[in-house]
Amino acid sequence: MYFVAKTMAEKAAWEFAKEHGLDLVTIHPSVVIGPFITPSRPLSVDISLSVITRNEALYPMVTRARAVHLDDLCNAHIYLFEHPEAEGRYICSSHCFTILDLAKSLSQRYPEFEGVDESLKAVPCSSKKLMDLGFKFKYNPEEHDVGDLVSDAIESCREKGLMPV
């Protein structure tokens, strides 16, 4: 239902903008990872931590995943707001990874976490339109691996007592 509701809301927004002559820009983030202020773990954090928490029910959502750090998503909103030439829909996703990539990265940072199936592969995704406009990811894949995106979420979980380790 969540994805259906999001699609219907965006469709209504585009129709409203067209009827009223408004400029509209939408951002479509992948899984958003990073620190959080809620008292419980958000679903996106549960998904990214499933390899650590051993929540196998969520594995299919991260076997081939795309993610963006919360900081980059916030910066993309501001960036597009400040660039009047921005128009249409933008995908905001800095990293494509497999559960294996995530497990390897996290096991280097947190040796207490075990690895997973090495046979999983990534599915490509693209934020080309956003980057063609000049946006630069703070957590870019050239300098940061997927573990960097998840580390802030792990620290938030630990601070809130939401991690068993």
Provide the annotated active-site residues: 6
Within 8 A by CB and 6+ apart from 5, the residues are none
Q: Are 90 and 28 in contact (CB under 8 A)?
A: yes
Within 8 A by CB and 6+ apart from 18, the residues are none
3-state secondary structure of 49: helix
Report the C-alpha gap between 39 and 161 in whole angstroms.
Answer: 10
| Joined tokens for residue 68 | 């963006």
The alpha carbon dihedral of 59, 130, 144, 160 has a sign of: negative
